[in-house]
Amino acid sequence: MDKARGAWRAGPFLLRGLRDGGPTGALRARLRRSWGTIAGEYRRRQPDFRRITEDSVALFRYLLTRDAVDLGLGQLSAASGVAVRGQANRYAVNIASTRSEPVNVTLAIDIGAINAPALPDGQSAHVSKRLTALPGASTRVEIEYDWNTKAVFFVRDTPFPPDEIAAATLDVSARYAVTVTLVDSRGHRLDRLTVYQELTS
């Protein structure tokens, strides 16, 4: 009986301690911090989620289509997950064709910051080159670009200058999307692939 009375008397003090920042208060504060971290990370990654969703939809449409795909991009890769402005950043892409004749195409590279609205205007770049996709083969194209004004396309180890290069001011350290687009001679987009890089000055 005395023990029960002692517990009853101690109850209000324990409850007051929990309200005043005891174990429950600390747990709530930790949960609030964790939720704030998760929410911030979600906002930062939201453009990635949107692109993943768009690419997934495109993949399902490709899998469900009855049209024969005879010309497209087979692979896109970057030499590093980090790009350095002023240095030769290297990329490689394959143009796959099952057609019986050579096809004239344009390979375009567009680079833009993922969180573009939060960055100054001009944080994007465009480089393109007209190429010939070989029939029944995979044509490997390598690109070196300094994220400024110098770009070189390599086809079977032979260097070619770009046909078009738009001056850009890529000098803000951020995460960028490097998108390679394959366009036919009529200007229709055939395929598109994207890799992501962090830019360092």
pLDDT tens for 61-102 read 555 555 556 899 988 999 999 999 889 999 999 999 999 999
The CATH number of 69-200, from 2.40.50.200, 1.10.10.60, 3.40.30.10, 2.60.40.10, is: 2.60.40.10
Residue 114, CA distances (Å) to 43, 61, 161, 168, 201 in order? 12, 25, 27, 15, 17
Strand order in the sheet with 175-184: 82-84, 189-200, 175-184, 103-113, 124-133, 164-166
pLDDT digits (tens, 9 = 90+) for 5-53: 444 444 544 444 444 455 566 676 777 777 777 766 666 666 555 556 6
Torsion of CA 93, 96, 102, 108, to 10 degrees: -40
Residue 197 Cα distances to 80, 90, 106, 113, 133, angstroms: 8, 12, 23, 10, 27
> 50 or 181: which carries more pLDDT confidence?
181
Kindly report the backbone phi and psi dihedral angles of residue 98, in degrees, each rounded to the nearest multiple of 5, phi listed first: -110, 10
Least confident of 49-53, 76-80, 162-166, 187-191: 49-53
Tokens of 91: 């990329």
- Of 57-61, 135-139, 197-201, which has the strongest mean pLDDT? 135-139
The answer to whether residue 168 scores a pLDDT higher than 90 is no
Mean pLDDT value across the chain: 78
**Span between the terminal Cα atoms of the chain, in Å:** 74
Q: How far is CA 144 from CA 69, 125, 155, in A?
A: 28, 14, 12
Q: What is the number of helices (H) and of strands (E) in the chain?
A: 2, 11
Q: What is the pLDDT of residue 132?
A: 93
What 3-state class would DSSP assign to 36?
Answer: helix
Structural domain boundaries in the chain:
7-57, 69-200
Order the strands of the 89-97 sheet from edge to edge: 71-78, 89-97, 137-145, 151-155, 158-160
pLDDT at 119 over 50: no
Question: Whole-model pTM?
Answer: 0.64
pLDDT (average), residues 120-135: 82
pLDDT value, residue 35: 74
| SS3 state at 162 | coil
